[in-house]
Structure 1
Amino acid sequence: MKITQAFTFESAHRLPHVPETHKCHRMHGHSYRVELQLEGPVDPHTGFVIDFFEVEAIFGPLLTQLDHHCLNEIEGLENPTAENIAVWIWERIKPNLPQTSSVKVFETPHCWAEYEG
């Protein structure tokens, strides 16, 4: 079974490794959406792969680090592309949420990065 829980956060960033003429070189913000997909057997007693409240509790501290912050100032996100944010989340969430099978990071409703480890 696969389940997905989505979270949103607001953050500013700039991409330091693009040309100065690239609009993303300047500081700007996004309304990010993160989707954590988890995979595993359904517990016959609870009916869950994992309780969504447990996912929320585990991801909550990371969400707090990201929300309303400048991503470039977070250790490991000095170049905060959607791809790098997805990997950063994966590396921090997978040890505590081993059922994680993918992390999607949406910069806009029309573009995202997906990381599967």
Structure 2
Amino acid sequence: MRITQGFTFEAAHFLPHVPETHRCRRMHGHSYRVELTLEGPVDPVTGFVVDFFDLEAAFAPLLQRLDHHCLNEVEGLENPTAELIAIWIWDRVKPAMPMLAVVKVYETAMSFAEYSGG
């Protein structure tokens, strides 16, 4: 069974390693959406894979570090591409949520990076 919970945050960033002429080199912002997907058996007593409230609690400290911040100033996100944000989230959520299977980070409604630990 797979379950997914979504989260949103607003943040600014710039990409320091793209060419000077690339529009993402300049500071700009996104309304990010993060989806955390967990995979595992359904507990026969609770009926849950994981309680969504537990997943929300595990992600809350990260959300606080990201929301309404400049991502380049967050330790470990000096080059905050969607791909690297997904890995950054994975590395911090996986220890608390071992059933984490996929992290998706949407920069726009049409563009996202997906990471599954490999």
TM-score (norm 1): 0.99
TM-score (norm 2): 0.98
Which residues in structure 2 correspond to 1:63-78 (within 5 Å)? Answer: 63-78=63-78
SS in 1 for 2:15: coil
User: Aligned equivalents of 2:98 and 2:8: distance in 1?
Assistant: 21
Task: Report the AA paired with residue 112 of structure 1.
Answer: F
User: Aligned equivalents of 2:114 and 2:21: distance in 1?
Assistant: 27
User: Aligned equivalents of 2:63 and 2:36: distance in 1?
Assistant: 12
User: Could you tell me which residue of structure 1 aligns to residue 102 of structure 2?
Assistant: 102
Map Cα deviations across residues 14-44 of structure 1 (whole Å, 9 max, x no partner): 0000011100000000000000000000000
The runs of at least 4 aligned residues of structure 1 exceeding 2 Å deviation read none
Map Cα deviations across residues 62-112 of structure 1 (whole Å, 9 max, x no partner): 000000000000110000000000000000000011010010000000000
Q: Can you give the 5+ residue segments of structure 1 that lack an aligned partner in the other structure?
A: none
Let me know the Cα RMSD of the aligned residues: 0.3
Which residues in structure 2 correspond to 1:27-66 (within 5 Å)? Answer: 27-66=27-66
User: Could you tell me which residue of structure 2 aligns to residue 82 of structure 1?
Assistant: 82
Q: Can you give the 5+ residue segments of structure 2 that lack an aligned partner in the other structure?
A: none
SS in 2 for 1:58: helix
Give the C-alpha shift of residue 51 in structure 1: 0.5
Task: Report the AA paired with residue 95 of structure 1.
Answer: P
Identity across the alignment (%): 73
